[in-house]
Amino acid sequence: MQNRFFRESLPQRRVVVTGVGAVSPLGLDAKTSFENACKGVSGITKISRFDASVSPAQIAGDVKNFTPEPFISLKEVKKMDLFIQYSIAASLMALENAGLKKEDLPSERTGIFMGVGMGGLPTIEEQHSVLLERGPTRLTPFFIPKVITNLASGQLSIMLGAKGPNYSITSACASGSHAIGEAVSYIRSGQCDIMIAGGAEAVLCPMAIGGFSAMKALSTRNEAPREASRPWDKGRDGFVLGEGAGTLILEDYEHASRRGAKIYAEVTGYGTTSDANHMTSPAPEGEGGKRAMQLALNNASLNADQIDYINAHGTSTPAGDPLESIAIENLFKDHAKNIWISSTKSMTGHLLGAAGALESVFSIMSLDSGIVPPTINLENPDDDCRLDYVPLRAREKKLSHVLNNSFGFGGTNACLIFSRLEK
């Protein structure tokens, strides 16, 4: 078996996307979610899962009407926090979309990487109450397996009999993109033929809302939920918490070709950096994000002027939005004004560890369909945000190369490039 850390000296295999799956505030599958994003539908509403009336932020991008039973038995559901259920649902839908069944997977050459930001926080909150009110002997025996992040990939590995590499990556809001990027390297290096990669998050609970509110990170536009997430707009006042999952089926190009798979895109570039600057604030002028984008371009052997569309990190925060925009200007120079840029977080809210994964699904579907979702609510652009953010309405054109940005607390940055396949 080849060592992935020496892959630069070996011929690299091409990695393609053959399946996509999603559970999001915009729909219970990838197709519905993307179609609603292109229509400019907002999935952000008043929180109904618990009484949020005492919270400064009372809105969220929640998943509506999700039922795990088509994917997971009721017996197994009891052992899983919601983020694990979302991971399994999105992944099984992605496999179906790729035309793959369990018996089709080369067991020891199929791996699973999932990005998860915060794990089973709702279960921690619930079981903490049990501990205080009824004592430690009344905690569920499934408490630990429900909350640890790697069960998002581990449960799926058990279900599918996938015996390749299996772990979860936790890097805040870049988790999903890191999981995809690292999965790509395992196929490129020859260790795996298929990787199931993405991200999942479900922390819509009082503790998460309260914690982010204490940081002054969340929008408090409670009376107009659908207008609350407004990246690059002068009226933005913070991000909106979202939840869900996105999964890609990544495959060695030759393996996919032999089985006649539909190929949505090739993953051509991956770049990751650290700001080394601050716990929550990006580096000045988005320097770390700029370097990650440049590394992704280098990895893809692309020039800056070949990028057609950027699905931006674009969280709707006062500090983050202009810095990402400035980073794009500084890297892409004159071409920056020609790039279509949009933030689907304007409709989904911020899915934290699942954000980069869901936005990768949207990026790939944009590449495949030629439709770029809009940035809704962008009515009065910030003076420091001078680029084309596809405001209010979707647009159409043939795309060749799409960049997806994900930047996280702790100064972690991950950028992915998806390209139209050229045989």
Residues assigned a catalytic role: 173, 313, 350
Q: What is the DSSP string of 325-364?
A: HHHHHHHHGGGGGGSEEE-THHHH-B-GGGHHHHHHHHHH
Contact by Cβ (8 Å): 312, 231: yes
CA-CA distance, 113 to 181, in Å (whole number)?
A: 10
Contact by Cβ (8 Å): 404, 363: yes
Coil, helix or strand for 311? strand
Of 194, 200, 180, the C-alpha closest to 98 is: 194
Torsion of CA 18, 172, 178, 281, to 10 degrees: 120
> Reading across the β-sheet that carries 166-169, which strands appear in turn?
166-169, 110-115, 194-201, 244-252, 15-23, 265-274, 412-419, 401-408, 309-311, 340-342
Of 134, 26, 73, 22, the C-alpha closest to 376 is: 26
356's tokens: 């980069």
Number of Cβ within 10 Å of residue 3's Cβ equals: 10
**Per-residue buried b or exposed e for 273-288, using 16+ beta carbons within 10 Å of the residue's own CB:** bebeeeeeebbeebbb
Residue type, 33: S
Pairing of strands 412-419, 265-274: antiparallel
* Residue matched to tokens 């694990």: 84
**Assign residue 122 a region: left if phi > 0, alpha if psi is -120 to 50, beta otherwise?**
alpha
Contact by Cβ (8 Å): 105, 194: yes
Contact by Cβ (8 Å): 199, 353: yes
